[in-house]
Amino acid sequence: MTDTAKQGTTVKQEIDARGSACPGPLMELIRGIKAAGVGDAVAVLSSDPGSNKDIPDWVDKIGFELVSNEDLGGYHRFVVRKTR
């Protein structure tokens, strides 16, 4: 699935982790990012409130780019670009 996120970023994969408890959404994102190529963006949907801290913290720690973090009412959509 490809779709265009904010800032003209093309999302190569979207992972629906809604309903998954922490650390499930982060682990799903990590799995998706590992399979992605450099420059690709992966989106993850999460209804777990812990993801609002865990995912941005992990992205910052690993050195990737958090393209967007959208509150979509009951869940968030994080778009992460693999930069290396």
Q: Note whether 30 and 15 are within 8 A (CB).
A: no
pLDDT the model gives residue 44? 98
**Out of 13, 16, 18, 22, which one is annotated catalytic?**
22
Q: Is 22 a catalytic residue?
A: yes
Q: Note whether 78 and 16 are within 8 A (CB).
A: no
Instruction: Report d(CA 8, CA 35) in Å as an integer.
Output: 21
How confident is the model over 26-80, as pLDDT tens digits?
A: 999 999 999 999 999 999 999 999 999 999 999 999 999 999 999 999 999 999 9
pLDDT the model gives residue 63? 96
Instruction: Report d(CA 73, CA 38) in Å as an integer.
Output: 31
How confident is the model over 1-36, as pLDDT tens digits?
A: 444 455 567 899 999 999 999 899 999 999 999 999
End-to-end Cα spacing for the chain: 22
Please state which CATH class domain 3-81 belongs to: alpha beta
pLDDT the model gives residue 17? 97
